[in-house]
Chain A
Amino acid sequence: MTPANLILRGIPASPGIVIGRARVISDTGEVQNSFRLVYTEEERLAELERFRLAVEQAEEDLLRVKEEVSQEFPEHVHLFELQLMILKDQMFHKDTLRLIKENNLNAEWALYQSFEKVKNLFSRIQDPYIRGRVQDVDAVYRRLLGNLSGWAPQRYLSSSEPIIIVARDLSPAETTQMASSRVLGFVTERGTKTSHTAILAQSLEIPAVVGLDNATRQIANGTNLILDGLTGRVVLEPGDRLLTTYQTRKQEFETFKSEVGRSSELPAITLDQFATQVLANLELPEEVQLALKYGADGVGLYRTEFIYLRQRQLPTEEELFEDYRRVVVAMQPKPVTIRTLDLGGDKFLSHLEYAPEMNPALGLRAIRFCLREQGIFRTQLKAILRASAYGRVRVMFPLISSVREVWEGRELLQSVQEELTKEGHPFDPQLPVGVMIEVPAAVTLAPLLAREADFFSIGTNDLIQYALAIDRGNKQVADMYQPLHPAVLRMITLAVEAARQAGIPIAMCGEMAGDYLYVPILLGLGLNELSMNAMAIPVIKHVIRRLTLREVREMTLQVLEMPTVEEINDFVFGQMQQRFPEIYRFGSALVGTS
Chain B
Amino acid sequence: MIVRQHHLEHVEKELWVENRLGIHARPAMKIATTARQYDAEINLEKDGAQADARDLLAILTLDCPQGTRLVLKARGPEAREAVQALSRLFASKFEEI
Contact = CB atoms under 8 A, between A and B. Distances in A.
A285 B60 CA distance: 25
Interface in A9-42: none
Interface in A295-313: 307, 310-313
A311 B66 contact: yes
B29 A91 contact: no
B39 interface: no
A122 B61 contact: yes
A133 B63 CA distance: 11
A159 B57 CA distance: 33
Given A81-B29, A285-B97, A313-B67, A118 B57 contact: yes
Contact of B25 (A125, A126, A133): A133
Interface stretch (B16-24, B73-81, B82-90): B16-24
A578 to B, nearest CB: 48
Given A78-B26, A129-B21, A130-B22, A86 B56 contact: yes
Interface string B46-77: 00000010111110110111110000000000
A90 B21 contact: no
A70 to B, nearest CB: 16
Given A82-B25, A85-B32, A322-B97, A133 B66 contact: no
Nearest to B33: A85
B29 A129 contact: no
Given A82-B29, A90-B54, A91-B55, A118 B24 contact: no
Contact of A90 (B24, B25, B33, B58): B58
A171 to B, nearest CB: 13
Interface string A80-103: 011001100111100000000000
A7 interface: no
Given A81-B29, A133-B24, A126 B56 contact: no
Task: Decide if the interface of chain A is mainly helix, strand, loop or mixed.
Answer: helix
Contact-size category for A: 20 to 34
Contact of B56 (A89, A121, A130): A89
B24 A129 contact: yes
A310 B57 CA distance: 23
B68 to A, nearest CB: 10
B40 to A, nearest CB: 16
A136 interface: yes
Contacts of B97: 285-286, 322-323, 326
A542 to B, nearest CB: 33
A278 B16 CA distance: 41
Contacts of A124: 61, 63
B29 to A, nearest CB: 6
Contacts of B60: 122, 125, 130, 133
Interface in A220-278: none
A118 B22 contact: no
A310 B20 contact: yes
A127 interface: yes
A574 B61 CA distance: 55
Interface centre among A91, A121, A125, A326 (most CB of B within 10 A): A91
Given A82-B29, A310-B20, A121 B61 contact: yes
Contacts of B29: 78, 81-82, 85
Nearest to B66: A311
A381 to B, nearest CB: 21
Contact of B57 (A81, A89, A286): A89
B21 A126 contact: no
A124 B62 CA distance: 10
Contacts of A285: 97
Contacts of A78: 25-26, 29
Contacts of B61: 91, 118, 121-122, 124-125
Contacts of B66: 310-312
20 contacts: A82-B25, A82-B29, A82-B56, A89-B55, A89-B56, A89-B57, A90-B54, A91-B57, A91-B58, A92-B57, A118-B61, A121-B57, A122-B61, A127-B63, A130-B24, A130-B65, A136-B25, A307-B20, A310-B20, A322-B97
